[in-house]
Structure 1
Amino acid sequence: METDLYEADHEAYRETARAFVTREVVPNVERWGTDRQIDRETWKKAGAAGLVGLAVPEDYGGAGEPDYRFRFVLSEEIAAAGAASLQSAFGTNDDIVLGYLLNLAGPEQRERWLPGFASGETIAAIAMSEPAAGSDLRGIATTAVRDGDHWVLNGSKTFISNGITSDLVVVVTRTDPDAGSAGYSLFVVERDTPGFERGRKLDKIGLPGQDTAELFFQDARVPAANLLGELGGGLPALMQNLPRERMGIAVAAQCSAEAAFRWTLDYTRERTAFGKPLAAQQSVGFTLADLRTRIEVTRSYVDRCVRELNAGRLTPVDAAKAKWWATEMQWQVIDTGVQLHGGYGYMTEYPIARAFTDARVQRIYGGANEIMKEIISRDLVRG
């Protein structure tokens, strides 16, 4: 759709992204869903094409390009292919975990971990949610206790995106139960850490190709050198990085809605009823007009937030607005798209049907939309 967000470099990047999606994504979407995970070769090919880890500094094999507009372009191309599972998997690496490493990792940690993000050889996850703690991070019960040159982790996490395939997991722990908000810290747990086990691959109603898992830590011994950031600095680090994570969800929602609208518009133009195309029926035409307007108005706000993110000015409140509004809009567009497809909208061979189940979690993860409203309303009360 028309937008003044992009410049020539972004459109050139689009050609690379589109070629990758055509060659490596479109032929594999169904297989990823059947296998319930994305194969590592896809990650490596994305790395070779310069499509993941773009913000990794050149010293560590990346392009050193923090401009989020490039991520937006890739998201558009992936959404056009109906590959929401890949969108989520790449987003976990680039919109979430990489941000923590770039902001918090020391020189030795950067040397160890950043090159794999640029090459596509490292798949990462972040472990916040627990069986009894979701959007309220202060309810986290996983503990880390110092023991010589190691920290010993005990606890469990659930709903962890990339949980099965991940090589690195940023784990949110409680390091001092008496320190209040200063009692939480982040650790990077590597694949073969003793005492770290992966549970079952969770069976979801959508995003079948994106592996989601339970993680368990039973006296898991993590080197002290894997503390990420300052001891006790976990919650401030989470607050600092959440705007980018939520913008990643908002951008994915926007791109998904735009793709779903195109599928629906094409279908209603081709499908006839009572002697004319569905799109020419007034009730359908008015519905399409409503959806198109919602998409374009939301796009304006999301574009603005991306510019603010690039400038380092995006506030947690504005990110919450974008995440809440864009994901609600996405759901309206896709749900209506299913309706306008009629019986075909319920058939999984149609991308609109797959998008319907894939999109449902968007209003839940990254902080449920009810939490987004709470963040916004508290800001209003504070004045």
Structure 2
Amino acid sequence: MAHWIFTEEHEMFRESVKKFVEKEIKPYVEQWEKDGEVPRSMYKRLGELGYLGIKFPEKYSGLGLDVITEAVYTEEMAKSGAGGANASLGATLGIALSNVWKYGNEEQKQKYLVPAIKGEIIAGLGITEPSGGSDVAAMRTRAKKDEDYYILNGSKTFITNGVNADYVVVAAKTSDGPTHRNISLFVVDTTSEGYSVGRKLKKLGWRSSDTGEIFFDNVKVPKENLIGEENHGFYYIMQNFQYERITMAIGSVALAELALEEAMKYSKERIQFDRPLSEIQVLRHKMVDMAVDIEKARNITYRALYKFHKGEDAVTEATMAKAYATEMVCRVTDEAVQIHGGNGYMMEYPVQRYWRDARIQPIGGGTTQIMNEILTKRLGIIS
């Protein structure tokens, strides 16, 4: 459905992304799922088209457009049904590059931001740890300053692009100070001595996204690779979470739309009891409920996107969008599988992949339970 948040220019951009998705993404999804990763050539292709630099300034090889334009890209890529591919490509675009752009110095931007926007190198973000999960402040990875270097020790897990990244933005403790004031961010080249990749993790969904464990054994990180100020990393992470959560909500709405479209199409083609499934009232009403659920999530999400675009405090709206939209996509994709019946459980029907890919949404970027805890404070339920 059209929405007032999008201008004519946004819709023109949408058409170009749609054509790209149809021609260069959808035909290769199944192969990428089998390979467990997206080929490097796809990063290069996105760089050539400018899709990796939509919101970044032109001086860094970006397009210098607004975040609503990037939201259009996110929606149409999500509608490709390639959740894993979008996760890998999006990790470079959204969560890794943003930290360098917002908080890095000019030298870091030229060395790490520009080539990544061009698709020449792959980036990742290293925050989650085996023992930490959602508790960012409890991380154990440490970086100890030693003359011109920081000596990095520890490990990270569930890292998108963890196997193939050329550099990772890593969060590590740099002091024994108060909680939330002792974490710093560093750009760590994956060719550094002492840096190693563990297992390439096997997942329920997002199978075309390479996800790995990474380890740091006395890795020497040059002091000039510190992003922003020392011990300000927790603040940087939390700031970036706001837009990451909006992006996850946008992708959830788009994937749910795709699942509903597949369910509606199947219901018109599948004959049971001498009539199409779409003529069975209980299934018709089920699809109506799915559509209403999607529309509620869409409007909550667009409200958050608009406030963020305007530079306003969107923490409450972004948190609500993340909490509602990511749970919604699980409900809708599950119903889509149900409408397909036994075929929905078969690997040749794409709804099974939508259902598998959807399940990570209420977990990644902060669980629904964490979102609800944030909201109890934002709404004044607890002080």
Q: Same fold (TM over 0.5)?
A: yes
Is the aligned partner of 1:334 residue 2:333?
yes
Q: Secondary structure at the match of 1:361?
A: coil
Aligned residue in 2 for 1:38: 38
Q: CA deviation at 1:338?
A: 0.1
What amino acid is aligned across from residue 137 of structure 1 in structure 2?
V
Q: Secondary structure at the match of 1:98?
A: helix
Aligned residue in 2 for 1:81: 80
Aligned residue in 1 for 2:365: 366
Q: CA deviation at 1:181?
A: 2.2
CA contact (8 A) 1:265 1:288 kept: yes
**Separation in structure 1 between the aligned mates of residue 191 and residue 117 of structure 2, nearest angstrom:** 22
Aligned residue in 1 for 2:59: 59
Aligned residue in 2 for 1:208: 207
Aligned residue in 1 for 2:257: 258
Q: Map Cα deviations across residues 101-153 of structure 1 (whole Å, 9 max, x no partner).
A: 12101111111112123211221111111110011111100000011111000
Q: CA deviation at 1:78?
A: 2.1
What amino acid is aligned across from residue 369 of structure 2 in structure 1?
E
Quote the sequence identity (%).
37
Is the aligned partner of 1:12 residue 2:12?
yes
Aligned residue in 2 for 1:352: 351
What amino acid is aligned across from residue 130 of structure 2 in structure 1?
P
5 Å-filtered alignment, 1:115-130, equals: 115-130=114-129
Q: Secondary structure at the match of 1:366?
A: coil
Aligned residue in 2 for 1:95: 94
Q: CA deviation at 1:20?
A: 1.7
Question: If the length of structure 1 is used for normalisation, what is the TM-score?
Answer: 0.97
What amino acid is aligned across from residue 234 of structure 1 in structure 2?
G
Is the aligned partner of 1:22 residue 2:22?
yes
What amino acid is aligned across from residue 347 of structure 1 in structure 2?
M
**Separation in structure 1 between the aligned mates of residue 26 and residue 168 of structure 2, nearest angstrom:** 29
The range that moved more, 308-317 or 356-365, is: 308-317
**Separation in structure 2 between the aligned mates of residue 293 and residue 172 of structure 1, nearest angstrom:** 40
5 Å-filtered alignment, 1:201-350, equals: 201-350=200-349
CA contact (8 A) 1:16 1:49 kept: no
Q: Secondary structure at the match of 2:163?
A: coil
Aligned residue in 2 for 1:183: 182
What amino acid is aligned across from residue 39 of structure 1 in structure 2?
P
CA contact (8 A) 1:93 1:125 kept: yes
CA contact (8 A) 1:334 1:352 kept: yes
CA contact (8 A) 2:37 2:85 kept: no
Aligned residue in 2 for 1:110: 109
Q: CA deviation at 1:314?
A: 4.0
CA contact (8 A) 1:53 1:120 kept: no
**Separation in structure 2 between the aligned mates of residue 61 and residue 360 of structure 1, nearest angstrom:** 35
**Separation in structure 2 between the aligned mates of residue 262 and residue 253 of structure 1, nearest angstrom:** 14
What amino acid is aligned across from residue 59 of structure 2 in structure 1?
D
Summarize the Cα distance change of 1:290–1:348 in structure 2 as closer, same or farther, 3 Å threshold.
same
Q: Map Cα deviations across residues 175-213 of structure 1 (whole Å, 9 max, x no partner).
A: 002343211111110121111111110011111110000
Aligned residue in 2 for 1:376: 375
